[in-house]
Amino acid sequence: MYDAFIDLFIEDLQNISYSITRNPIIPGVRCMLQAVSPKITSVGTIKFVNYYLFLDWENDLFGRLDALIAAHKSFREVVNEDFHVPHGWRMTLPNIVVAAISSNPFSPEAITFVQSKYQIPWQGGEVGQMMLFDLQAHKQYCHYKKAYKQTGSIPLGFAVDELFGIYKSIYSDARLLMHGEK
């Protein structure tokens, strides 16, 4: 259903050397696309690798927030298999984004959740967030950008900027909506 959109996203991600997997195998999750950054990104003392997973909100997640949260948990487990250093000792962090795509409006509950929650496990060693892409209204919902002072804000903001840049190249009228914005 979203093949044309995913193809455009893949093209832009491949242009910046991302490793792409269509229909990846993630336990308990049906997925459309997985993308992994080609190298470690360094910003000051912070080093991270981006892991992006794209899902169909209606058909993969059945329009359910709990399914999105479960998909994020499953993806975290798969990503963390690539890191052999315990969470608390990591010098390089996985920056995990699970993005749901829909051609229908998202529920207010889902929007509020992705705009207000980000994932930093108590033991550290990774960061993550969920994003929503409304293809009909050309809106991207996500957490704060890196200007907000919080733990993990630099990799979180990097992902927001990178994915919104691609989204904006597909839809020139795209809008980025963060905490509290509708």
Establish if 152 belongs to a structural domain. Answer: yes
With beta carbons less than 8 A apart as the criterion, state whether 139 and 131 touch: no
Helical residues (DSSP H) of 22-173, grouped into ranges: 65-80, 108-116, 153-170
pLDDT at 121 over 60: no
In a domain, 129, yes or no: yes
Short-list 44, 34, 55, 53, CA closest to 101: 55
What's the rounded mean pLDDT across residues 115-130?
Answer: 80
Residue 162 lies in a domain: yes
Task: State residue 118's pLDDT score.
Answer: 81
**Structure confidence by residue, pLDDT tens digits, 136-155:** 999 999 986 555 566 677 88
CA angle (180, 133, 7) in 5-degree steps: 160
The whole-angstrom separation of Cα 162 and Cα 43 is: 14
Residue 93 lies in a domain: yes
Residue 42, domain member (yes or no): yes
What is the predicted pLDDT for the residue at 145?
Answer: 58
H/E segment holding residue 127 = strand 127-134
Residue 74, domain member (yes or no): yes
| Count of domains forming the chain | 1
More reliable by pLDDT, 75 or 117: 75
Report the predicted TM-score, pTM, of the whole model to 2 decimal places. 0.93
Output the average pLDDT for the chain. Answer: 90
In tens, the pLDDT along 47-61 reads: 899 999 999 999 999
- The predicted model gives 27-33 an average pLDDT of 93
| 46 lies in some domain | yes
Reported as type and span, the H/E element at residue 93 is strand 92-102
Report, as an integer, the average pLDDT of 50-79: 96
Q: What is the mean pLDDT of residues 18-39?
A: 95
Range of 29's domain? 3-177
Helices 108-116 and 65-80 pack at an angle, to 10 degrees, of 30
Q: Is residue 182 part of a domain?
A: no
Q: How large is the average pLDDT for residues 159-165?
A: 94
Residue 119 pLDDT greater than 80, yes or no: no
Instruction: Indicate if the alpha-carbon torsion angle 179, 42, 81, 59 is positive or negative.
Output: positive
